[in-house]
Amino acid sequence: MAKQHAYGQAPHRTDATAAKTQRARGRWVGLLTGIALSAVTLGKAHAQYAGQISSIVVDANTGAVLSQADPDLRRYPASLTKLMTLYMAFRALKAGAITPDQTVPVSIHASTMEPSKLGLVPGTHLNVEEAILALVTKSANDAACALGELIGGGDEQQFAAMMTQQARSMGMTNTTFRNASGLPDPEQMTTARDLATLGRRLIADFPEYYHYFSTESFRFHRRIIPNHNPMLKAYVGADGMKTGYTQEAGHNLVTSAVRDNVRLVGVVMGAASNTQRSLAMADQLDHGFDAEGVAPVARPLLLAHASPHATGRNGRRALVMAASTRHRPLEVAEAPAPHAVRHGHRAAATTAAHGHHVRLVGAKVRAISTVETHHLTARRSAAANRT
């Protein structure tokens, strides 16, 4: 009986042990799942390495890397995505699949894109060349989406899949695209190295279309749309390519410049400001040209880094970026000293080199042009948008 009793208790013990094992397994699976989810969350949280710049400069002809800093960190491309949108458009043009004057319909989806945008209305249209120019100059998200839909058979997601496939075929193994514009998507990522590859291929594969990147402005529906790429005016030899910004990505930039028949492609990602990314790019390109044996060229910018020695009237410490072209605007980004703000020096007029007049507005100084000074507010608003 004792044996039978023992035997009779065995199933109970087995069930209890199984239940205990299942609970332990459940806790273990839950722990692993939690670790996995935490890793994903942390990966996304640290994917952009806040405050850390990724950069690279390469010889456009040979691909030789001339300088680099964390070029393989996966980052959000922001509007640098449009470089691939443009690559796909140039490829379609070269293949005869589309033409410059072909109509690009504006869908409801395209019209709902967030700024920066042209403000396209559903049911209207623009042509392929206007869309290309809108991407290059204003970084218009609505135009990018409309162009992507045209090439992607009416589906932006399909176009993004085509973009990713093209990127992989070019060796951009760490790049994934999810839309045509670069508006935020957690799965849309790239690296500085991959973007340098894309920049080189744009130049090599489509020399007949590369000139679009140096467009200073174009007319669209009786409006003049200016190019807001600062490097075109700020760096000798720069003739393209693209800026990009979202809060998550930081301030990104791809620039190509040529001097003495040597062409470089530079990438800066994750800068804290437009000024920082422009300075970082200029410094990198200078080092790149020096490494290639190209004689240095005096910058057309006056660079006075914020320091006690740069303190001027009213206690302002300024970073001055002054284009030497006679009628080109002078820009000064500055941090006003606390006492200046307290005493109401929020806006004042002063003069700068070569007789340019500038106005101090808060923490920034921008040239007062003799034409359309009322655009200052619009420009400041646009600068805050995704570009």
Residues counted in the chain: 387
Token representation of residue 175: 């790049």
Maximal C-alpha separation, the chain: 112
Q: Which two tokens stand for residue 361?
A: 């507005």
Contact present, 229 and 251 (Cβ < 8 Å): no
Report yes or no: 138 and 109 within 8 Å, Cβ to Cβ.
Answer: no
16 Cβ partners below 8 Å, 6+ apart?
Answer: none
Catalytic residue, candidates 55, 67, 79, 116: 79
Q: Is 139 a catalytic residue?
A: yes
Q: Is 82 a catalytic residue?
A: yes
Query: Among this protein's residues, is 364 annotated catalytic?
Result: no
SS3 222: coil
Q: DSSP for 249-284, please give it.
A: TEEEEEEEEEETTEEEEEEEEEESSHHHHHHHHHHH
What sign does the dihedral 342-348-352-358 (CA atoms) show?
positive
Token pair, residue 78, equals 């922001």
The answer to whether the annotation marks 44 as part of a ligand binding site is: no
Residue 181 and residue 82: Cα distance in Å, rounded?
6
Q: How would you classify the pairing of strands 65-69 and 317-322?
A: unpaired
> How many degrees, rounded to 5, is the angle at CA 93 between CA 89 and CA 99?
110
Name the catalytic one among 67, 82, 107, 364: 82
As annotated, the active-site residues are 79, 82, 139
Q: Give the annotated binding-site residues for substrate.
A: 242
Residue stretches of the annotated binding site: 242
